[in-house]
Each structure stands twice: as C-alpha cells, then as structure tokens.
A and B are shown apart, each in its own frame.
Chain A
Amino acid sequence: MKVFWSTFIATLWIGCASLAAQTASPSIEVSHAWTRATAGAAQTGAVYMTLKNVGKASDQLVSVSSPVAGMAELHATMKEGDVMKMQASPPIELKPDVAAELKPGGLHVMLMHLKSPLRQGEKIPVTLTFAAAPSITLEVPVRGPGALSDTD
C-alpha cells in the first residue's frame, strides 16, 4: 500500500512537471515590429521584426497572415554580386535564446494584394503561426514610406 501511494504521488509529480514544461516552453517574444507606408499605388509591403525564442525547445515561424493583404508570405532577399533576388523563405528557425531578425535586405513578411494602402501612423494586424508555440497577433505600426528601421 505504501508502495502504491509513493508511486501515485511520483506519477502525479511527473505529470504536473511535464504539463508545466509544456505550458512554459516553447514561447516566442516579438519586438521592433514595423512596416512602411505604401509608396503611391504600390501593391506590396514588407513587415520587419525581431523574434526571440525564450523557451527551452527550438521552434519555427511557419506562416504569416494579415487581413490587410490578400496574401502574406515569408520572404528572403538575397544578394548575388550586385543582383538582389527575392524568394519565398522556408520556415524560419527559432533556436532558444537566439534572436531571428527580419530586417530590410534580408528576411521579411511580404504582404501582397494590399486591400488598401498602408498609411503612416496606422497599425496593421499581422498573425504569426509557429510550429509549436501558440500563434501571436501583432499590431504593427506603419512608418514612413522610406523608413529604414522601427524608429524612422
């Protein structure tokens, strides 16, 4: 009987601990999110941000969406000599304690088929979907059409 109770308590402990681990990790923090105002009648936009995995296990940013755009994708700009190329990016790896930067000239959220121009001073919702962590919806501030960072 004594053995039964000690086993029962141990199982309960392990169960609680694993449950706690599941809720505490993985977890993603997003900072410095920003986008640019649409230049003229341009149909596309790019959203930039810094992602940090504060959990214990690796995760991935799998997809993105925004109600302001008919289509949103993870894109990467690549430099080959003096030629700049842009293409859809595979899911972005988020390793624990390593910041992934989405910034001009590199990774970005590409917004296509904008339903209306992005206006400076407004905020647009952008939802990030991760492989493990729960999805996050951000309110992304719109900077000037020629902004180079989230402080412009």
Chain B
Amino acid sequence: MTRKSTKISRRTASRARLAFGLTAVVLAAIGVAILLFGLGKAHAPVAGPSSQAQIGGPFELVDETGKTVTDRTYRGKWLLIYFGYTYCPDVCPTTLNTLGLALRDLGPAADAIQPLFITVDPQRDTPETLAGYTDAFDPRLIGLTGTPEQIANAAKAYRVYYRKAGEGDDYSVDHTSLIYVMDPEGRFVTFFGHDANAETMTAKLRQLLANPPKKGAPS
C-alpha cells in the first residue's frame, strides 16, 4: 500500500512538473508574440522616410495669391503635401494627377483635405506660375513658393532632398518625390510613394478620414 501510494504520488508530481513546464513554455510564447506584434505595430508607419516625429514642422511660405501662409494656416484640415516644380515634365504631373484622381474619387470626404504643392524651384515658380499649374490637376490644389531660404526650411522640416541639376536656364531639380499625409493637428501620419496609384491612395485616405486621431494624442 505504501509502495503503491508512493508510486502514485511520484507520478502526480511528474505530471505536475510537466504541466508547469508546458504552461511556462506557452506563457513565454505569448510573451514573445506580444513583444513582437507590439513592436511591429509601433514601427509599422515609420517605414520609409525616417521616423514620424521628424517629418513636418513649422514653415512660412507664399501661396498662389501672394499671401504669406504658415503650417498653422491649414490646421484643422488633413494635408497632402507634395514637393516638386512646374518645369518637371514627367514625375510631377504623373504624381499630381494621381493625387487629383484620388481627391475626386473621395467625393465630399475630400473637403476635409487641403492638398499643397510646394515648389523646390522658387527661382522659376512664382505665385502666378503655380496658380495656373496647380489648377490643371485639381482646383483645390494650392501651390506654395517663397524665398530660397523659406523653401529650404520647409524642405528641411519634411526631410525633402532637392538639388539643382544641369547648367543655365534649362536646369532640372532632383527631388524627393513623396506625398506626405499630415493629420488636422499637423502631425505626420503616412506617405505615398511616387508609384502609388489613385485606388491605393483613395482607400488609405478614406480609412484615415473615417478614424481621425484623438485630439492631443501623442503622435
């Protein structure tokens, strides 16, 4: 009897050890999963141009009508910001057309958005030049220019690279070609690459507009 009970208690103990071991393994796996997915979530929107916190910031520029505007002028609206120049015959019209198509696809929802085209060529792009240019893609698109210093500051805030290429009057400007999406409080949310199509852009914007960020929530 004693021998038998000892045998049973030993078996129970080994089962308990096994159960404890298995529980520990499962808990560890859950922990690793939370850690991985949690980190993945936190890092997901950061892919691409650096981190969220570093994109965007104060700027002072001149709009199509010659009026001085700042980043605060457009608070309360979602911003779609693209840096380019009107002498750009290939990339800029392609990207701006995609942006225009997406705005039209969004219908009335696009009222919450202010699209901005900031020139990287202030030497040639005057407010008047920009006014005619932007309207060709969408009447809501506003062109912004400024002094070379103002443009340099805005580009720096958005981590946009631009550099004059070529000599004389027929130079072109190499530039970062991304559309930045800023929320109504001026915080960077995401960006679209130059090869994004209108469908992708519309779907993403619709999703963002339907789930606006909480006021004052950390970005």
Contacts and interface: CB of A to CB of B under 8 A. Distances in A.
Interface of A: 36-46, 71, 75, 77, 79, 82-87, 104-105, 108, 110-112, 145-148
Determine the main DSSP class of B at the interface with A: mixed
Contact of B90 (A38, A43, A108): A108
Given A87-B172, A105-B195, A146-B100, A36 B93 contact: yes
B194 A84 contact: yes
Interface of B: 48-49, 86-91, 93-94, 96-98, 100-101, 128-137, 161, 165-166, 170, 172, 174-178, 193-195
Given A82-B178, A104-B94, A43 B87 contact: yes
Q: Which of B48, B87, B134, B178 has the most CB of A within 10 A?
A: B87
Given A40-B134, A41-B129, A105-B91, A86 B86 contact: no
Given A82-B48, A86-B91, A110-B89, A146 B177 contact: no
A42 B87 contact: yes
B53 to A, nearest CB: 18
Contacts of B129: 40-42
Given A86-B172, A104-B94, A40 B178 contact: no
